[in-house]
Amino acid sequence: MSQSSIPLTQSYAQQLDAQDELTKYREEFYLLPAMYLDGNSLGLMSKRAEKSLQDIMLSWKELGIDGWTTGQHPWFFLPEKLGEMSASLVGAEPEEVIVTGSTTVNLHQLAATFYQPQGKRTKIIATELDFPTDIYALQSQIKLHGLNPDEQLVRIASRDGRLIEEDDIISAMTEEVALVILPTVLYRSGQLLDIERLTKAAHERGILIGFDGCHSVGAIPHYFSKWEVDFAYWCNYKYLNGGPGCVGSLYVNRKHFGRVPGLTGWYSSKKDKQFDMEHTLDVCETAGAYQLGTPNMLSVAPLLGSLEMFQEVPIEKLREKSLKLTRYMMDLMEVELAGMGFTVANPTEDERRGGHVSLEHEEAVRICKALKEGGIIPDFRAPNIIRLAPVAFYTTYSEVWESVQVLKAIMQEKRYEKFENKRGVVA
């Protein structure tokens, strides 16, 4: 890369902060003593999320079972309400999104529905850089059809170990493929795939396609309905700040409404029929059909407060700041960390980059430990990746500037050498 011409001073970062109209939202979050650059793994708690959790707990305390249908936020209709609040983040109609399950449960549900191998169409396309849970779930679904995952799960190879070329995915879309399931953003390198192009290519070949949006929803605008994506699923505890283990979400294009999901439960029913208690399912004709059982209200509740902020700030504006933050971080790294053994592994083009910077170094484990000691919370991914995610709602340009200065000092003074080269149980 060419040397950057940006000012390297702290005053320049402060100037950028002064011009940032989203700065006021920083006060909405409980900030840690350390600079937090791990929002792509777990978002910080907001004061609104805390309050909405307290509100649901209060309704349980004061209303008991009547909380299901009365009070400020009747529990029975909360998954649909939150789906409606989430819809604009993925470019969907309100009925196409439901808050339910978890990433893995929702993937199993959607694969059980849309993976219907027939004749020679028996294969599923994924990539060799997918998050492991996606692969495990798809292997399970293939086995449930009595097929061999080693033969039926096609994992697109990376040419460089970091990125996946869309051309390689499209070339694999043969007449033997029944389904394609891909990440919107690769969790290690932060590459953003061309969702619109891939969806069009799949449909031209008679193939259904879905996406794992865990590393993009809340940071990157999507237009799933416009692009005619068949389905998608994502977690709500990263960029959406819903809390650890927060209930997940899924999207199903309305063209599939009325289809009986592969997995059903009493929450798959039409809402007005659910308590008829009949043994014949009257399936809901929205994404709500893909629910299974009673939602965990204390896990759903924080999303009420968190999603309020996403309704106030368009996702396009959050994306604009996210791109500026990551661009500023990369520009600083280019100059300040030159010759220190680092490689920026994520794409540098705005249209191909997710919400985090992926930095490779052979001492990544020990460097992450030194960063924590230096007041910065990063994220490590094996074998050699430091992920740094400046989040638009609560990260400042000054924090980006300071984090690079700390990283520079760690390398110059070899502070990382005192740490063991071994990751923790949770990385």
Strands 249-252 and 231-234: antiparallel
Question: What DSSP state is assigned to residue 38?
Answer: B
Does the annotation place 361 within a ligand binding site? no
Q: What is the largest CA-CA distance in the chain?
A: 70
Does 76 carry a binding-site annotation? Answer: no
Question: Is 261 marked as a binding-site residue?
Answer: no
Q: In 156-204, which residue ranges form alpha helices assigned H by DSSP?
A: 166-171, 195-204
Query: Does residue 184 have a known ligand-binding role?
Result: no
Contact partners, residue 304, CB within 8 Å, separation at least 6: 48, 49, 52, 55, 56, 73, 78, 82, 85
Task: Please give the structure tokens belonging to residue 37.
Answer: 């650059």
Structure tokens at 82: 């939150």
Q: Has 134 been labeled as part of a binding site? A: yes
Place of tokens 């004709």: 285
In 310-349, which positions are buried (b, 16+ CB within 10 angstroms) versus exposed (e)? beeeebeebbebbbbbbbbbbbbbbebbeeeebebbbbee
Whether residue 212 is annotated as binding a ligand: the answer is yes
CA separation for the pair 305, 139 (Å, rounded)? 36
Q: 359 phi and psi, to 5 degrees?
A: -115, 120
Distance of CA 79 to the CA centre of its chain: 19
Report the first-to-last Cα separation within the chain, whole angstroms: 30
How do beta strands 231-234 and 357-360 pair? Answer: unpaired
- What per-residue string of b and e applies to 241-267 under the rule 16 or more CB within 10 Å gives b? bbbeebbbbbbbbeebbeeebbbbeeb
The verdict on whether residue 133 carries a ligand-binding annotation is: yes
Annotated binding residues for pyridoxal 5'-phosphate: 103-104, 131-134, 212, 215, 237, 266, 294
Instruction: Indicate the annotated binding residues.
Output: 103-104, 131-134, 212, 215, 237, 266, 294
